[in-house]
Structure 1
C-alpha cells in the first residue's frame, strides 16, 4: 500500500515542499502517472483566476477588465505549458527520483514507432 500525504502535507507539496521518502511512489504517480499534466495545469492555472477577477471591479467597460485579465492569463497558460517538462524533472530530482521518468512516455512511444518502422521496412 502506497502512503498518501495528509491534507497539510499535500498543501505543502503543492507549494513546493518535499514529501517523506515513504511517499515517493505517490509522488511518482502524481508527477508522471495518468492525469499528471491535467493536475499540473489545474494547480497553476485555477488559483490565479479569483485574483484576476479583481480587474472586473475597476471602473470602465467590462471588455477592458476582461482584456486586462487576458493580458496576464494567456502568457501564464503559455509559460505553464512550456515549463511542464522542466517542472516535472525538478520535482522528481527534489524527491530523489530518476529525472528520466519525466520523458519515459515519450521515449516509450518513440521506441514503439521505431520498431513499427523497422517491421514495415524489413529491419526487424
Structure 2
C-alpha cells in the first residue's frame, strides 16, 4: 500500500484540531504552514468554527444588541490573540511534525535579504 501525501478528511479534521500527521505528509504540512495563504487558513480555522458556539448568546432574552455585545466581548480578544500568536502557532506545528521551526518566517527573511542587498548596493557596500 502506497503512503498518502495528502490527508484524508478525518486526518484533516484531526490536523485542524491539533493532531500530528504521518511523516509521509510532511511536504503537505510544510506547504500548509508556510505556503501562500498560510496565515489566512490559520485564521479561518480558528475564527470561523467558534461562531456557532458564540451564536448561543443570541438566545439570551433581551434586545439583540445585548447578545451581539456578549459575542463581541469574547470574539474580539480571540481575534487579537489569534493574530498575535500566528507565528508561535506555526513554529509549534512545524516542531510537532519534525520540521525546522525557522521555516515559519522564511518568507520574511527572504524579503529582508532582498532589502539588505538593495541597501548595500545603493550605499556602495555590495
Q: TM-score, normalised by structure 1?
A: 0.96
1:61-76 superposed matches below 5 A:
61-76=63-78
Query: Which consecutive residues of structure 2, in runs of 5 or more, have no partner in the other structure?
Result: none
Q: How many residues align?
A: 123
Q: How does 1:1-124 map to 2 (within 5 A)?
A: 3-124=5-126
- Which portions of structure 1, spanning 4 or more consecutive aligned residues, are displaced by more than 2 angstroms? none
* CA deviation vs aligned residue, 1:58-95 (integer Å, no higher than 9, x gap): 11111111111100000000000011011000000000
Q: Distance in 2 between matches of 1:37 and 1:58?
A: 34
Root mean square deviation of aligned Cα: 0.9
Q: Distance in 2 between matches of 1:122 and 1:74?
A: 48
In 2, the alpha carbon distance for the partners of 1:32 and 1:7 equals 21
